[in-house]
Each structure stands twice: as C-alpha cells, then as structure tokens.
Amino acid sequence: MSNPNIPNISPNITLTRDDVVNLLMSSIAMEELGLAHIINAEGEKIQFALGTLQGASGPPATLQEVLEVNKSTQAMLDTIFRQEMMLDSKLKTATNIPTLRGPTGPAGPTGAPGGVISINGQTGVVTLDASNGVMPFMREQSTSSLDDYKDPGIYSSDSDSSTGPTDGSSPPGVAHPQVWTLYVSRVGDFVQQLYISNPALFYRSSQNGGAAWGNWVPIGQQGPTGPTGSGATGPTGTTGATGATGATGVTGATGATGATGATGAAGATGATGATGATGPTGATGVTGPTGATGADGSVFTGNNLFIARNTASNIAANTAIPFTGPATINGTGISYSGGLFSLDGNKMYLISYFLEYTNTATTEITSSITDMGISSTINGSEARSQAPDTTGIPHVSVSKSIIYNTSSGPTDICLTLDNSANVTEFTTISILELGSLSP
C-alpha cells in the first residue's frame, strides 16, 4: 500500500469544498484499508502459531505460547475497534458537510480607513522591497558561501557553534568566522558587500554580478605601533629613601650530622685470677621412674571451617539448621553437606557458633550441637534464650564455644533448636582442629 497523496499542493492551494470532502472520504478509506491489512496480519500470526500458515515451518507452539498470541491479537483488535469508532464519527461528520454553495451575499459596508496613509510618500498597494529602500533581513547557515549573496539585503549567520564558511570566502584573520552579518547592495551588475566582524569591518565588490569578487579590504583596523621617539633621556632622579627592613627569613634546615670520631684504643686486659680447687664429685643418685608419654604436640593444624547462613527461614524443632552461604574450608579433616559437619576421628576440635533467631514461643528455646553418631547433645554446647518479655520483642541471639574430642571413627555433628523458630541470615559456625588425640 503506497503512501496517500493530497493533489494540487503548491504555495497557493486551490482545493474546492467538493475536493476537500472527497479527500476526507479518501483518507477514511485509506485508514480502513490499513486496518484491514493489520487484521490480516493478526490472522496470519494466529495461523503461524497453530502451524496452518502455508509456506511456514517450525516447531509446534506450546499451549502457553498460543495463549500469549491470542492475548496479543485480542489487544490489537481492541485498538482497531476503538479506531473504527473514531473513523465512524469522522465519516458521519464528513458526510454532513454541505457541498452546495449558496448565492453570494450582498457586500458589507466599507470599513473605516486605517491609520497608515502612505509609505515613503506612496499610497495604495505598496510592495516593500529593495527598490523602495527596504532591506530584507534573512537568517542563513553559518557555513554558507559569502560569494552567493548578490541580491540586496541583510544576511546573518544562524549559529555560533559551527565553523563558518567552508569555501574560504570569509575575510582572513577573523576571530570568529561562524558569527557574521553581511550587508549587500546592488546597482546593475555592480555588487558591494560589507562584512561586520571583530576587530574590524571588511569591504569588497564585484563588477560582473558576483561572478568574480575583489579582495576583502579591512576598514578601521588598528595600525601598527609607531617607532619610539628620538628625544634625549631625562636626568636620573634622586635616590629614594631606604625601605624598611624585611621580615626575617625562615630558618634553614639543620645541617647533616658530622662523621663519628675514631674509636679509641682498647685498654690492656687485666690479669686472670687464680683457678680455685676442684671439689669432690658427689655420689650418683637413683634413677627415677619413666614418666607417661605426653600427647602428640601437633596442635593447631591447617584443618578449619567457617560458614554462614546468608538467608533467613523457619527451622523446625530438633532439625539440623542448614547453612546456605559459601563455606571457607581449609584442609581435609572437616567437610559440610546438607546441614551436617563431618569431622575426622580421634581429633580435638574447637567449635564456636553464633545463632540469631526470632523466638515467638511462650517458653525458652535451647540451641545445642548434636553428635549424630550417638544421637545425643554434646555436653556444654547448649545455649538458652529467654521467652519473649512483656514488651513483645522476640528477636534474640546466643553464642557458644566448646572443645570436643571425637571418637575413633568419623563423626557427624549439627546445630539444632529444641523448638521451631525463624533463624536469620546472620547465624554462623566455625570449627578449628586443635590436634590429634593419643591412641
């Protein structure tokens, strides 16, 4: 469908009333044709989604995709329906425009004369142009060639952000070539141009209607500085009074420390005293019993772990609290998976936890570390919170640190609560292997 065209558009539009009505009808018809194309496109979109469009192939659409296409088509049809209502109103209005013109009415009374009687002594219809002494003013592009301005008038650049005439037609040495005003007068083929700039005005002319121009001539530019006069130098004046003493200058930096003097000669060594007599050797004592073998001294190994929850969630009573944050694990003696911490056997560990949760129960809540191998709470690992007070603030935090010795085999432990609570993301636990136990 091509773009609509309105005929007979020129500086003087000569459309009749009948032509205007016909153009309105044509515009309505063109809009209806455009809506018909849109409706046809929506139908082809549905055919493509259902796989019934000829010449199109592809994987079958899912039910969700078909529903999305149906929703999109419904929205487009709603828009078309509203446009149809507007076109219907437009059509009714256009058809009600009367096209038959009645007879010309009688001429009205002549109006009172205007305030202007004559212009430059001329009466009646006066055309203001250069022949009447009126210079037209026009805005031109800053990059326009000044050679093209041959008709009388005043021309000025339209911007101060461009580069000025690009063909070199502006006067040389102008500070701002993009900002210019040009006065042009013409008598026959003799054309004169006056260019206003800073720091001078420039003038040039053409005797063949602007086909060739003379050079720009500066007007009023400052001349060069004259030579220095040759008069005799006057006598030297008397010496002025001595000025006041200036302020004391800043103290200079301390000089470098001098070299250390030479070390004096060492004094004479005194005489060695006489050696005393050696005492008698005592009898050898009885050998005591051998002490028990001490524990292995390899403490503070490189096996350690630190992990945080990072998210808050409700935890049921007597359930391992999961830790969702990234774990920092060094060594191979400690690991974590699914809320359980696995420890090597026959080891000594320092276990510390910080637990923050919301206690909405009416009783105290106790947190502890459970040894899953024996399904029992590790003694000393309990930390108890108070029940909510009368102010209704249930947010509590507890912490605990213990030293725990594992049994001979690998041991799994976990952090639990004896009542359900919302455990926050600030809960953390750290485990440090202190060393091995003696077998």
User: How many beta carbons lie within 10 A of that of residue 289, not counting itself?
Assistant: 5
Distances (CA, A) of 69 to 45, 79, 83, 237: 8, 16, 21, 103
CA distance 297 to 279: 42
Residue 199 is predicted with a pLDDT of 65
Least Cα distance to 129 among 120, 116, 117 occurs for 120
SS3 331: coil
316, with CB counted inside 10 A (0-12, 13-18, 19+), is exposed
CA distance 268 to 291: 53
Longest dimension (CA), the chain: 164
Distance of CA 296 to the CA centre of its chain: 60
Question: Cβ(369)–Cβ(430) under 8 Å?
Answer: no
Question: Cβ(362)–Cβ(349) under 8 Å?
Answer: no
Distances (CA, A) of 184 to 60, 211, 214: 75, 15, 14
* Sequence-ordered strand ranges (E) for 359-439: 365-371, 376-377, 383-385, 395-405, 411-417, 421-423, 428-436
Per-residue pLDDT of the chain (439 residues; tens, 9 = 90+): 555 566 556 656 677 788 888 888 888 899 899 989 998 888 888 888 887 878 777 788 888 888 888 899 899 889 989 989 998 888 888 888 877 666 788 999 988 776 666 666 666 676 666 566 566 778 888 888 989 998 888 888 887 777 888 787 888 878 888 888 888 889 999 999 888 876 668 889 999 998 999 998 888 655 677 787 676 777 888 888 888 888 887 887 887 887 887 887 887 887 887 887 887 887 887 877 876 654 454 445 789 999 999 888 888 989 999 998 888 999 888 999 888 999 998 999 999 999 888 877 677 888 899 988 788 899 888 988 766 655 556 778 889 999 999 988 889 999 998 888 888 888 999 999 998 887 6
CA distance 193 to 149: 8
